Amino acid sequence: MVKPAAEYLKSVDRSSLGSRTVVIVGGTSGMGAKVAELLSEYGVGRIIIIGRNAQRGAATVENIRHRAPAGGEVRAEYIRGDVSDIQGMKTTADAIGEAVGNQGIDYLVMTQNGVPTGLIQSNADGMDPAFAIQVTLNDLSLDDLSLHGEKYQKMWHARLFGQQSARDSCVLDAFHEEFRLRYKQFEFSHVWPGLVKTPDFTLGAFPLLLLNPAAKADADDAMCYAYTLKPSAIGAWASDPENREKLWEWLIDRAA
């Protein structure tokens, strides 16, 4: 049975957190910045913030340093990274690798902006930036994941927004499920935004699934979680191994 998030926060084992390294992509504002604050308050030893805005990055780093527990110290740093296209993703990954060296990282938190806009846009790869950031199906063709087809050009704004949302959710589920099955040495959790308390989302508190194994065990060790840590099943398209295989090959080809 899943308990209130506050209960898990109270029982986090802090004894080993000082040696942990966390990278937060999209950590200069919103959910990423709030997660960084909480991790600092719980004594995580090193927090690396990834974002595009150096001024916000510096402010976030200063903020989380001040939130370290009394008598403790958090090594906080900012790395400029733009993951809105493939080259930017590779450059950012290289920068993270150079920063951590052989020490590696313990947790990777992905909160980068990728909300649907209801607009047709393109990045350097000819893809919609929000799609590229989030990764990206519903009944869509793999050849038109950016929704550049003629029918989308004439689509009503609100309907296009809904189509983008359905596409992104479907592809994210498929990608993470396939990644989870291929790389079983890693653990994944996909949580509903409202579980992170920010000015925009005030319904819950981030339960630190990555720091409190009891929370994940109580929630049936699922990969996706809705509000109040309720396990959420992936959709029918993402559940189909053949669809996931095609998507995986398509993404690998795009990244080559």
In the predicted model, what is the mean pLDDT of the chain? 75
Spatial separation of the C-alpha atoms in residues 147 and 64, rounded to whole Å? 39
Among the listed residues 79, 75, 10, the one whose alpha carbon sits nearest the alpha carbon of residue 47: 75
Are 255 and 134 contained in the same domain?
Answer: yes
Question: How long is the chain?
Answer: 256
Please tell me which of 79-88, 138-147, 165-174, 225-234 the model is most confident about, judged by mean pLDDT.
79-88
**Three-state SS at 50:** strand
Are 188 and 224 contained in the same domain?
Answer: yes
For helices 241-255 and 86-100, the axis angle rounded to 10 degrees is 80
Please tell me which of 43-57, 139-153, 173-187 the model is most confident about, judged by mean pLDDT.
43-57
Judge whether 46 lies within some domain: yes
* pLDDT of res. 31: 82
Are 86 and 171 contained in the same domain?
Answer: no
Are 244 and 151 contained in the same domain?
Answer: yes
* pLDDT of res. 40: 92
User: Domain boundary residue among 52, 78, 113?
Assistant: 113
Task: Check: CB of residue 33 under 8 Å from CB of residue 6.
Answer: no
User: Domain boundary residue among 86, 113, 140?
Assistant: 113
Are 133 and 83 contained in the same domain?
Answer: no
Number of folded domains in the chain? 2
Q: Which residue has tokens 């209801």?
A: 118
Whether residue 145 is predicted with pLDDT greater than 80 in this model: the reply is no
pLDDT in tens, 157-176: 444 444 445 555 677 788 88
Judge whether 138 lies within some domain: yes
- Averaged over 43-59, what is the pLDDT? 94
Are 133 and 102 contained in the same domain?
Answer: no
Whether residue 72 is predicted with pLDDT greater than 90 in this model: the reply is no
Task: Check: CB of residue 223 under 8 Å from CB of residue 190.
Answer: yes
What does pTM read for this prediction? 0.75
Instruction: Supply 11's token pair.
Output: 């029982």
Phi–psi pair at 75, nearest 5 degrees: -85, 100
Q: What is the DSSP letter of 219?
A: T
pLDDT in tens, 183-230: 888 887 777 665 566 555 554 555 556 677 777 777 776 776 666 667
Distant-in-sequence, close-in-space partners of 166: CB < 8 Å, separation ≥ 6: 138
* Domain coverage including residue 143: 120-201+211-256
Judge whether 148 lies within some domain: yes
